[in-house]
Chain A
Amino acid sequence: MLTALFFYLFASLTVISGFMVVFVKNPVHAVLFLILAFFNVAGLFLLLGAEFLALTLLIVYVGAVAVLFLFVVMMLDVDFAELKSGFLNYLPAGLFVGGILLAEIIMVSGAWILNPALSTLEKVKEIDPTVTNTENFGKVLYTDHLYYFEAAGIVLLIAMVGAIVLTLRQRDGVRRQDIATQVGRQPKDAMEIKKVETGQGI
């Protein structure tokens, strides 16, 4: 009962914020609605018992991707009003693509009805329900799949090194804060005491 209540709460909020992403005028608000949608989808995953996926979604999509979007929207001077002017012209194409996606989803999820023989196929191995998803991942990620894990880490390291090598430039005339110099500064370097004669000025 409570699960159903939460399901409808999360699901309806996801759908509503999805609509809002498309329809609000202000792009920053759109990104914020996108974040709301991500949060609600994470809630749906939690209800399904996929807590690892829910947390990954929050970390990756909210923590990284959405913040990146927000930066792009705020840094780039894009005229969104103009971008949206021919909005309805794309409706037929959009509906067409959406229709294909819908048909594919129905075919995939209804495959058992279309072809009863499929239900005899070997099912995915069930995991031990007493252990959480995260624990299951942890058990194999650093043992059986250690090699893949390390290799993927190297791929990411190379990407990082490459990005830095190709873009980092040492520019002249940039004044950076150097805390050690600031702290180590002595009064005698910074100040000069002058005896001012009365009525003379410096």
Chain B
Amino acid sequence: MSQVSEYLPLLPEIIVVIGALVLLLVGVFNEERGAKMVWGLTMLVIAAAVGFLIKDWGTNTILFNGSFIIDDYARLLKIMVLLGGLVTLYMSITYLSETGIFKSEYSVLILFSLLGMMMMISAGDLIALYLGLEVQSLALYVVASFRRDSVRSSESGLKYFVLGSLSSGMLLYGCSMIYGFTGTIYFNEIATASLVAGAPSLGLIIGLVFLLAGLAFKISAVPFHMWTPDVYEGAPTAVTAFFAACPKIAAMGLLIRVIYSAFPELIDQWQQIIVFIAIASMILGAFGAIGQTNIKRLMAYSSISHMGFALVGLAAGNREGIEGALIYLMIYLVMTVGTFALILSMRRNEEMVENIDDLKGLSQTNLTAAFMLGVLMFSLAGIPPLAGFFAKFYVFMAAVKANLFPLAVIGILSSVVGAFYYLRIIKIMFFDEAKEEFTQMPSQLKLVLGASGLFVLFYVVYPNPIIEVARVAARALLPTI
């Protein structure tokens, strides 16, 4: 008989589940003020979960016969995902109330998808992996089409749903192959089973390929990226900000956990695949963004290429690589959230505008915002001494250490190509004829934009805490290598 106290490490998840269930009722019973109340309480719930995650830092627990792993690696990713969700939810209130879709269910669905991400990050077997993924995706499909009177929002939700189900199908097929050829669903047992067999069986490799294909879809890595620009463009901007920040990080965390804890013996096999999708994502992300006129589409391509860079760290196959990928994800999160804070403030005459041309001459109308976005763009392009440069630096160093020189060289070249379109935005903001002024920026967007701009600027001064937590997390995942 198990004690209740055994399940205490599960407290962050329990808080999120019960919070979501209660808030669902709160929203239903308060029709007028419910949306705003639930919005505030949701942020409180997320903050409480983050608090408990930080409190338990440093302990390891495995629950439910190995289905649920709680270690520092999981905790770091969960904190990242939850903070990303908290900030994007905080930013979204002006957008949601102005487009008339501010309902209590929005916050609850975001909370549920965060729960799914936490389940993904802690997954210790194939069923838990799949269930976490579905909890997350299902909530995301709904929020993508949350602006149901807009054709483009509905289209984006439907597209995401259809392609997402396809990827879930591939993932499940892969899982069934892996189970069939190893006889177990637990990651650590899969690792030992593939070790015993000597040369890995063909069926196991096919299963691994399908599993990676399904996960690559979730992080929108090439060649499974085609949904990203359409979904990002069509979804309500507040939702796009959330999409760009949280699900990517959770799926990347899951991918790292799966390949390192279940397939350490198959490194030769998965390394090839990861190297390929990393190169393809970096190149396609860089070239695809050049012709874009819509800033949300541009951010979609930008996120594709950034996932490619993070995968470079993963492809290295050593602990530096994981550290690099984690640092990359943290810095990417801050940069993306900051950029979307500005995109959310692009309003003119009560309407959202989302073309890059609308940023023309922003420096003359709002110098601070233009400066902050400029800093973020330089950082996304990877120009020293901003944070984005260091993010790329760590992953490329890891790749060089693993003797993957071609990968590092292609990565650097594609980041040069990528710099073109980031710099174009800066040129448009600072050197073009000024357009009409944007509507006054809401204070919460100012706060987020300012904070992320300052983080990016001053990361170089005191990078130690971030490097240190990434190191602890990577060691929790890979104690031996």
Contacts and interface: CB of A to CB of B under 8 A. Distances in A.
Contact of B128 (A144, A147, A162): A147
Contacts of A155: 131, 134-135, 138
A164 B134 CA distance: 18
A162 B131 contact: no
A147 B10 CA distance: 11
Query: What are the 6 A-B residue pairs with the smallest beta carbon separation, nearest first?
Result: A162-B142, A151-B131, A147-B64, A165-B105, A158-B138, A147-B67
24 contacts: A144-B65, A147-B64, A148-B67, A151-B135, A154-B115, A155-B131, A155-B135, A158-B109, A158-B112, A158-B142, A159-B138, A161-B108, A161-B112, A161-B142, A162-B138, A162-B139, A162-B142, A165-B103, A165-B105, A165-B142, A165-B146, A166-B142, A166-B145, A166-B148
A151 B112 contact: no
Interface residues of A, number: 16
Contacts of A164: 105
A85 to B, nearest CB: 31
Interface in B118-162: 119, 127-128, 131-132, 134-135, 138-139, 141-142, 145-146, 148
A148 B131 contact: yes
A158 B105 CA distance: 10
Contacts of A154: 17, 112, 115, 135
Given A151-B119, A154-B17, A165 B109 contact: yes
B469 interface: no
Interface string A28-58: 0000000000000000000000000000000
A157 B64 CA distance: 22
Nearest to A166: B148
Contacts, number: 54
State the majority secondary structure of interface residues on A: helix
B132 A162 contact: no
Given A152-B131, A158-B112, 7 more contacts: A144-B65, A147-B63, A151-B128, A151-B132, A154-B112, A158-B138, A166-B148
A146 B64 contact: yes
Chain B CB within 10 A, most for which of A144, A147, A152, A157: A147
A12 to B, nearest CB: 35
Given A148-B127, A148-B128, A151-B128, A162 B109 contact: yes
Contacts of A166: 142, 145-146, 148
Interface in A128-184: 144, 146-148, 151-152, 154-155, 157-159, 161-162, 164-166
B434 interface: no
Contacts of B103: 165
B210 interface: no
B232 interface: no
Nearest to A162: B142
Nearest to A148: B127
B394 interface: no
B217 interface: no
Contacts of A148: 67, 127-128, 131
B422 interface: no
B47 interface: no
B363 to A, nearest CB: 41
Contacts of A151: 119, 128, 131-132, 135
A151 B138 CA distance: 12
Contacts of A159: 138
Chain B CB within 10 A, most for which of A147, A151, A158, A159: A158
B169 to A, nearest CB: 16
B164 to A, nearest CB: 13
Contacts of B17: 154
A161 B279 CA distance: 39
Interface in B31-67: 63-65, 67
Contacts of A144: 65
Contacts of B148: 166
B68 interface: yes
B24 interface: yes
B442 to A, nearest CB: 25
Contacts of A158: 109, 112, 135, 138-139, 142
A151 B68 CA distance: 12
Interface string B267-288: 0000000000000000000000
Contacts of B134: 155
Contacts of A157: 112
A162 B479 CA distance: 41
Contacts of A147: 63-64, 67-68, 128
Contacts of B139: 158, 162
A162 B68 CA distance: 27
